[in-house]
Amino acid sequence: MMLFKKPTSVKGTLLALLLPSGIALMATAWLVHGILLERMSWNFVESRLQDEVAFLETQIRQSDGKIDTLRTGDYFQEVFHHSFAIQSPTQTIISPSTWETLLGPLLQSDQQGAIRVRKTSAAGAPSDVIAFRKAFVVNDQPLVVIVSEDMAALKASQAELHAWTAIVSIMLILLLVGVIWIGITLSMRPVISLQASLKKLQGGEVSRIHVKAPEELQPLVKQLNQLLDFLDRRLERSRDALANLSHSVKTPIAAVRQILEDTSRPLDDDLRREMGSRLGDIDKQLEAEMRRSRFAGPQVGKSAFPVKQARDLLWMFGRLYPEKSFELTTDMTEEHRWPVEEHDLSEILGNLLDNAGKWSSTFVDLSLREDNKQMLIVVADDGTGVAQDAVSALGKRGLRLDEQTPGHGLGLAIVCDIVERYSGQTHFSHSSLGGLKIAIVFHRKT
């Protein structure tokens, strides 16, 4: 059986943590107050008794040690409100006389300074006393002076003050509970607003979350809206893919169907090649749309190791094009991460390296670097390059340069599509090696 059940709400958790802490703090403060009050009382009484002993010593010295000439008795008690004892070789004075059984043993003691006497059983004497004893010599006569105070009245005042401190502490604890509750309630208002906005979103009343959230909740609201944007883009891409497929395959399928339904024409080699071409177009379109559907786009928590993936792909293309050299230029380590989905980065690097491998003469250079919050991919080859008037058209959707010049067109269009989803840029230019240079820039979000 569990003795403690973890609170399921934020309010319960905060109260479970803050309330015991506040009570423990107030209890500690109350105990420390009692200790300090006791010490202050002791120091205060000791200082007073020491001053009065010094006063008596001065009087005794002025009377040359004759204690019977001192103004003691009622005068001393009325002025100082303390009991005293004076002892000389010939005489002992104790006032009041009821304290004789308490102060008599102290006169015979050798202890000097402040003395605490508790739980005495002397009749007529208090049970808790602080006394100050001092021995000195006047005219070669040893004398002892003791001044004492009953602590009962002081302890009663001290207990009353301590009790009021406890009452104030309890009131402060109750006030603390109220302040904590109000603070938690006010702090939870944005969460309640967010919950209401989510219900409206679920009910179709709003398309995005618009809440004036505090600084701590702003990243959550931003990520939720980004997730909604991502889902909308994915839905739009799915609809575009279906529309593209429907438009692209309708004509080839109709042509193949017409050929198959025409029983008057024999299936000669020309018709077979035509049907194969039509079906090949359908297959290419299906493959292109399937590849586009697998692109993830930017997602929170997804990352890739660009150097490791690049080396794996360079090794593969080095075997695919054994007569050409593929080189990697980077100052990053294999453990360095980029916030790009792994499959997306493989598609970008794979298409760029495949394109460069087809068109290079002997050398392909891949450069990976990161600076000023920018991630750069640069692929350059030493091939014949692309005509100046065709450079600006590279990577455009629907442009199929691969039908005239194999190796350009569909792959670059896919690359541009992926880069666009990451809000990046793709730049085409002439390489210093003589061929085509493709530079891709991603911006790291802070």
> What's the confidence (pLDDT) of residue 201?
75
Asked whether residue 369 is domain-assigned, the answer is yes
Residues 413 and 392 occupy one common structural domain: yes
pLDDT of residue 18 exceeding 50, the answer is: yes
Asked whether residue 213 is domain-assigned, the answer is no
The torsion defined by the Cα of 184, 190, 193 and 199, in degrees rounded to 10, comes to -100
Contact (CB, 8 A) for 271 and 258? no
- The model's pTM is 0.46
Contact (CB, 8 A) for 150 and 166? no
pLDDT of residue 370 exceeding 60, the answer is: yes
> In a 10 Å sphere around its CB, with 0-12 CB exposed, 13-18 middle and 19+ buried, how is residue 442 labelled?
buried
Q: How far, in Å, CA of 78 to CA of 82, rounded?
A: 8
Can you give the CATH number for the domain in which 43 is found? Answer: 3.30.450
How many Cα neighbours within 13 Å face the side chain of 229?
Answer: 12
Q: How far, in Å, CA of 287 to CA of 268, rounded?
A: 28
Ranked by mean pLDDT, which of 18-27, 347-356, 379-388 comes out on top?
Answer: 347-356
Query: Residue 368 — pLDDT band, cuts 50, 70, 90?
Result: very high
Q: Of 128, 166, 134, 119, which is closest to residue 23 (Cα–Cα)?
A: 166
Q: How far, in Å, CA of 251 to CA of 365, rounded?
A: 42
The torsion defined by the Cα of 11, 14, 15 and 16, in degrees rounded to 10, comes to 120
Asked whether residue 36 is domain-assigned, the answer is yes
Q: Of 173, 96, 85, which is closest to residue 133 (Cα–Cα)?
A: 85
Which SS3 state, helix, strand or coil, does residue 144 take?
strand
Give the start-end residues of each E strand in 302-424.
325-330, 363-371, 374-381
Mean pLDDT of the chain: 78
Asked whether residue 162 is domain-assigned, the answer is no
Per-residue pLDDT, averaged over 125-152, amounts to 83
pLDDT of residue 180 exceeding 90, the answer is: no
Which SS3 state, helix, strand or coil, does residue 75 take?
helix
φ and ψ at residue 78, rounded to 5 degrees: -70, -35
Contact (CB, 8 A) for 194 and 24? no
pLDDT of residue 187 exceeding 90, the answer is: no
Query: Residue 267 — pLDDT band, cuts 50, 70, 90?
Result: low
Three-state SS annotation for 270-319: HHHHHHHHHHHHHHHHHHHHHHHHCCCCCCCCCCECHHHHHHHHHHHHHH
Asked whether residue 411 is domain-assigned, the answer is yes
> What's the confidence (pLDDT) of residue 287?
66
Asked whether residue 184 is domain-assigned, the answer is no
Residues 279 and 342 occupy one common structural domain: no
Asked whether residue 209 is domain-assigned, the answer is no
pLDDT of residue 306 exceeding 80, the answer is: yes
Per-residue pLDDT, averaged over 217-232, amounts to 79
C-alpha angle with apex 441: 436 to 444, nearest 5 degrees?
165
Q: Of 192, 239, 229, 191, which is closest to residue 207 (Cα–Cα)?
A: 229
Residues 23 and 97 occupy one common structural domain: yes
Q: How far, in Å, CA of 228 to CA of 230, rounded?
A: 5
Range of the domain at 315: 306-443
Q: Is the peptide bond before 190 cis (omega within 30 degrees of 0)?
A: no
Residues 15 and 148 occupy one common structural domain: yes
Strand-strand pairing, 113-118 and 128-138 = antiparallel
> What's the confidence (pLDDT) of residue 284?
67
Residues 39 and 148 occupy one common structural domain: yes
Query: Residue 330 — pLDDT band, cuts 50, 70, 90?
Result: very high
Residues 311 and 289 occupy one common structural domain: no
Ranked by mean pLDDT, which of 22-31, 288-297, 330-339 comes out on top?
Answer: 330-339
> What's the confidence (pLDDT) of residue 309?
92
Asked whether residue 185 is domain-assigned, the answer is no
> What's the confidence (pLDDT) of residue 364?
93
Instruction: Report how many domains make up the chain.
Output: 3
13 to 8, 9, 20, 184, 394: CA distances (angstroms): 7, 6, 11, 11, 59
Residues 282 and 321 occupy one common structural domain: no
Can you give the CATH number for the domain in which 390 is found? Answer: 3.30.565.10
Residues 225 and 128 occupy one common structural domain: no
Residues 313 and 366 occupy one common structural domain: yes
Query: Residue 369 — pLDDT band, cuts 50, 70, 90?
Result: very high
Percent of residues in the chain assigned helix, strand, coil, to nearest 5: 55, 15, 30
Contact (CB, 8 A) for 369 and 306? no
Residues 151 and 21 occupy one common structural domain: yes
Q: Of 392, 384, 395, which is closest to residue 352 (Cα–Cα)?
A: 395
Contact (CB, 8 A) for 412 and 351? yes
Q: How far, in Å, CA of 273 to CA of 277, rounded?
A: 6
pLDDT of residue 220 exceeding 90, the answer is: no
